[in-house]
Amino acid sequence: MKRLITMIAMFALGSLAQAADGAISLSGVWARASAGGNSAAYATIANSGAAEDRLIAVKGDVSTSIELHEVVMDGDVMKMRPVEAIAVPAGGSVELKPGGYHIMLIGLKAPLVEGAHVALTLVFETAGEVALDAPVQTAVSTGHDAGHDHSDMH
């Protein structure tokens, strides 16, 4: 009986954790190939929950540090600034993409080669930790497709 209760409790806890995680979903995930130094990872984060959530940190061992950054254009001048958090609106989504928000991978421990995967953990204020597996795409990529979509160029 005790065991059954434990099982039910574990099941309930598991469901709860899933419910929290479940509000956040990721798509369009990729990281830019890099020969070393720094790089960036991108994703579209959707929040099906009834309340805003915030991405507050990203963990991973691909680089010596990982920060959330935003690129802001001031006229034609590019300014890159760390941000404390990225808000994901209730029932909405936020896109991390070149020229906007990105997960900055600072001090890569090894080059990011096309076809490899970067394992990161996104930490949300409400949803907690959500795993992200970012395929590395060629540096020439626009993120929509691994750099092979040149159809609009001809």
- CA–CA dist 112, 36 (Å, integer): 7
According to the binding rule CB under 8 A, does residue 35 interact with other proteins? yes
Of 10-18, 22-30, 37-45, 52-60, the window that binds other proteins (rule: CB under 8 A) is 37-45
- CA–CA dist 16, 21 (Å, integer): 9
According to the binding rule CB under 8 A, does residue 57 interact with other proteins? no
Q: Using the rule CB under 8 A, which residue among 39, 53, 118, 120 binds other proteins?
A: 39
- CA–CA dist 128, 132 (Å, integer): 13
- First vs last C-alpha separation in the chain: 70
Interface residues with other proteins (CB under 8 A) are 32-40, 65, 67, 69, 71, 73-74, 76-80, 82, 98-99, 102, 104-106, 138-142, 147, 150, 152-154
